[in-house]
Amino acid sequence: MTPPLAEEADRVIAEASGEPAAVSSCAAYTILAKRADFLRAASARRQGAEGFLLQARDRKDGLPAIRVGFTCSKKVGNAVMRNRARRRLREVVRAVLPGLGKPGWDYVLVGRPGVTVIRDFAALKADLAAALRQIHARP
C-alpha cells in the first residue's frame, strides 16, 4: 500500500502537470490461468490490432468479473522478448481496460512478432481502445 503522503504528492504533481492522475494499483480484473479459458476465448470473437491480437468472449455466467490473459509465442522472440511483450501488454490493459472492458467478459491479448515490443506505448493503448470498441460494437 502506498503511504498517504506519497499518494497526495502524486495527486499534486499530476494536477500541476495537467495530466490525469495515475490509475489505482487495485486490479479491476483477474488473470486467466487455465488453458481451457484461453481456448474458449480463442474460439470466440477476434479483433486484430497493429500491436497485438485481441480475443474476447462473453462468459454469460452472471459473474461481474473481468478476466484477462496474455500470451506470446516463440515467434515473438527469446524469453526476454516474450516477457517484455507480456509486460507491455499488462501495462496497456491496466491503463485501458477498467474504462472500456465489460463485466462478465474474458479477454486474451496475443503478442505479435516484432511489433508488440517496439511499438510506441501510446499507440498500443490506442490499439486496445479501438479493438475493445469494435469487439463490443458487434451484435
What is the predicted pLDDT for the residue at 70? 96
What is the predicted pLDDT for the residue at 62? 86
Close Cβ partners of 124 (under 8 Å, ≥ 6 residues apart): 51, 52, 88, 89, 92, 116
What is the predicted pLDDT for the residue at 13? 46
List 110's β-bridge partners, or say none.
53, 71
What is the predicted pLDDT for the residue at 105? 94
Domain count, the chain: 1
What is the predicted pLDDT for the residue at 11? 54
pLDDT string in tens for the chain (139-residue length): 444 455 554 554 455 545 454 444 445 789 999 999 999 999 999 999 999 999 999 999 888 999 999 999 999 999 999 999 999 999 999 999 999 999 999 999 999 999 999 999 999 999 999 999 999 998 7
What is the number of other CB atoms lying within 10 angstroms of the CB of residue 110?
A: 22
Asked if the structure places residue 15 within a domain, the reply is no
Domain of residue 64: give its range. 27-137
Residue 123 contacts residue 51 (beta carbons within 8 Å) = yes
Assign residue 97 the CATH number of its domain. 3.30.230.10
Asked if the structure places residue 121 within a domain, the reply is yes
Q: Which amino acid belongs to residue 23?
A: V
What is the predicted pLDDT for the residue at 27? 53
Asked if the structure places residue 3 within a domain, the reply is no
What is the predicted pLDDT for the residue at 139? 74
What is the predicted pLDDT for the residue at 15? 57
Cell of 6: 506519497
What distances in angstroms separate CA 134 from CA 23, 33, 125, 127, 137, one per listed residue? 24, 25, 14, 11, 5
